[in-house]
């Protein structure tokens, strides 16, 4: 039996467009003057132009990174270290650990950091941005429950008081557009279907301190030999997602709605609010262990994930779900099902039968 992949939010399968783009890549160093180096430089330039076109940016605003986490860190450390320490770095309690981890480190360096609360669906409130803010970081959408954040309103509020805005768009751009106006936007290749790489959009005029020092690569923002293959992959994936976003979202909405209805029927408490990302079906079971559910599904051929964080083979309660006000038992019994570009209706039907059977076989928590 073929496996059914319902963990697109964990890491999206590599797109056909990416595989095609990676064929016959030049192997030279883009900084070398010989023919192979010039070919590599041309491939890198094409990828930068393609990525810029996909998000409506100028090519000089595109910086290729090794991952989404690196893009987030470059944005936050790079911007904060240029700003007065007396100003506040503001984010929210349900943000990705790459954002929260960077915020904690900035706090240890002497920056004022404020982590605001979220509501029961994980949604941030623009009114939580204090007038002292100099740097604000918000996710496009929550990677665990799919909650779409009021990014446009947060950008407007932050700019009103003169703060720089970073949008963590590692989750969501396959399905929804990135609102205009952000100063910094981080993107993750493996979440887009590239399998590798990352991008940081840096608005013209925004200055960053680099994380990696050395040569002048990536406009002086990231030293080191450019990874042409990663840049090619992430640019091709971003372009494909931007092109196909609308047509793909309609299918995802229908498939995820069917999964959400099943989870509710089986007693799962919905998470993520009324209108999460189109491909998200998430819930929490207060009487089941997410770890047991995932194992039962995996053995039956369905790849899914939990909102909890896996560490050393065990599941710890998700900081996102706890920030949303769920109980410890609910946080430990969470389930995240996310469809992808290649998910078929037959796979949804098959997965629903497996989920029903797996839940029946999973013992209640003692």
What element of type H or E holds 361?
Answer: helix 345-361
Task: Tell me how far apart the alpha carbons of residues 127 and 87 are, in angstroms, rounded to a whole number.
Answer: 17
For range 327-354, the mean pLDDT: 95
Question: Which CATH number applies to 4-12+245-361: 3.40.1500.10, 3.40.50.12500, 3.90.1150.10, 1.10.3720.10?
Answer: 3.90.1150.10
Which burial class, exposed, middle or buried, applies to 125 when counting CB atoms under 10 A from its CB (0-12, 13-18, 19+)? middle
The answer on pLDDT for 193 being more than 60 is yes
The answer on pLDDT for 366 being more than 80 is no
pLDDT bucket at 308, cuts 50 / 70 / 90: low
Give the CA count within 13 Å in the CB-facing half-sphere of 361: 14
pLDDT bucket at 311, cuts 50 / 70 / 90: very low
The answer on pLDDT for 215 being more than 60 is yes
Which burial class, exposed, middle or buried, applies to 121 when counting CB atoms under 10 A from its CB (0-12, 13-18, 19+)? buried
The answer on pLDDT for 197 being more than 90 is yes
From 170, 241, 283, 310, active-site residue: 310
Give the DSSP per-residue string, 104-156.
HHHHHTT-EEEEE---TTS---GGG--TTEEEEEEESB-TTT-PBP-HHHHHH
Give the CA count within 13 Å in the CB-facing half-sphere of 125: 9
Q: Which CATH architecture has domain 16-241?
A: 3-Layer(aba) Sandwich (3.40)
Q: Say what the pLDDT of residue 314 is.
A: 54
Q: Say what the pLDDT of residue 272 is.
A: 84
Contacts of 33 (CB under 8 A, 6+ apart): none
Task: Indicate if the alpha-carbon torsion angle 149, 275, 173, 263 is positive or negative.
Answer: positive
72-100 pLDDT per residue, tens:
999 999 999 999 878 999 999 999 999 99
The answer on pLDDT for 5 being more than 70 is yes
Which CB contacts under 8 angstroms, 24+ apart, belong to 113-117?
113/88, 113/89, 114/88, 114/89, 114/90, 115/90, 115/91, 116/90, 116/91, 116/92, 117/92, 117/93, 117/323
Mean pLDDT of the chain: 94
Q: Which range, of 106-110, 185-189, 346-350, 358-362, averages the lowest pLDDT?
A: 358-362
Q: Spell out the domain ranges in the chain.
A: 4-12+245-361, 16-241
The answer on pLDDT for 360 being more than 50 is yes
Contacts of 210 (CB under 8 A, 6+ apart): 74, 78, 220, 221, 222, 223
47-79 pLDDT per residue, tens:
999 999 999 999 999 999 999 999 999 999 999
Percent of the chain scoring above 70 in pLDDT:
97
Task: Tell me how far apart the alpha carbons of residues 183 and 205 are, in angstroms, rounded to a whole number.
Answer: 9
Name the pTM for this structure: 0.95
Beta-sheet strands, E only, within the chain: 4-5, 62-65, 88-92, 112-116, 133-139, 164-168, 184-188, 198-202, 269-270, 280-284, 302-303, 309-311, 314-316, 334-338
pLDDT bucket at 1, cuts 50 / 70 / 90: low
The answer on pLDDT for 312 being more than 50 is no
pLDDT bucket at 212, cuts 50 / 70 / 90: very high
236-275 pLDDT per residue, tens:
999 999 999 999 999 999 999 999 999 999 999 999 888 8
Which burial class, exposed, middle or buried, applies to 180 when counting CB atoms under 10 A from its CB (0-12, 13-18, 19+)? exposed
pLDDT bucket at 309, cuts 50 / 70 / 90: low
Q: What are phi and psi of 107, to 5 degrees?
A: -60, -40
310 is catalytic: yes
| Nearest C-alpha neighbor of 18 from the set 189, 170, 272, 135 | 189
| Nearest C-alpha neighbor of 255 from the set 172, 170, 140, 350 | 350
For range 283-309, the mean pLDDT: 89
Domains 4-12+245-361 and 16-241 share a fold: no
Q: Say what the pLDDT of residue 275 is.
A: 87
For range 96-125, the mean pLDDT: 96
């Amino acid at each position: 039996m073929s496996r059914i992949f319902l963990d697109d939010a964990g890491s999206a399968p590599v797109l056909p467009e990416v595989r095609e783009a990676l064929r016959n890549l030049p192997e030279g160093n883009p900084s070398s003057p010989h023919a192979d180096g010039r070919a590599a430089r041309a491939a890198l330039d094409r990828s930068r132009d393609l990525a810029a076109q996909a998000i409506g940016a100028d090519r000089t605003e595109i910086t290729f990174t090794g991952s989404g986490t690196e893009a987030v860190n470059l944005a936050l450390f790079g911007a904060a270290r240029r700003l007065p320490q007396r100003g506040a770095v503001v984010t929210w309690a349900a943000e990705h650990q790459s954002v929260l981890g960077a915020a904690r480190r900035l706090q240890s360096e002497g920056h004022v950091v404020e982590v605001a609360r979220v509501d029961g669906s994980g949604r941030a409130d623009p009114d939580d941005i204090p007038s002292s803010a100099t740097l604000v970081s918000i996710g496009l959408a929550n990677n665990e429950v799919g909650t779409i954040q009021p990014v446009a309103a947060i950008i407007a509020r932050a700019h009103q008081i003169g703060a720089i805005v970073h949008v963590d768009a590692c989750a969501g751009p396959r399905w929804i557009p990135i609102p205009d106006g952000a100063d910094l936007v981080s993107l993750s290749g493996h979440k887009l279907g590239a399998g590798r790489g990352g991008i940081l959009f840096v608005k013209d005029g925004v200055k960053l301190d680099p994380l990696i020092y050395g040569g002048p690569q990536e406009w002086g923002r990231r030293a080191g030999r450019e990874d042409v293959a990663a840049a090619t992959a992430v640019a091709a994936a971003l372009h494909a997602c931007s092109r196909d976003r609308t047509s793909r979202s309609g299918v995802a909405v229908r498939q995820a709605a069917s999964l959400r209805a099943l989870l509710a029927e089986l007693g799962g408490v919905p998470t993520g609010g009324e209108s999460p990302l189109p491909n998200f079906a998430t819930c929490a079971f207060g009487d089941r262990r997410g770890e047991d559910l995932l194992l039962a599904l995996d053995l039956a051929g369905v790849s899914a994930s939990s909102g909890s964080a896996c560490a050393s083979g065990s599941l710890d309660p998700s900081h996102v779900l706890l920030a949303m006000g769920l109980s410890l038992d609910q946080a430990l019994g969470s389930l995240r099902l996310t469809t992808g570009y290649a998910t078929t209706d037959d796979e949804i039907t098959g997965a629903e039968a497996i989920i029903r059977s797996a839940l029946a076989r999973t013992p209640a928590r003692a």
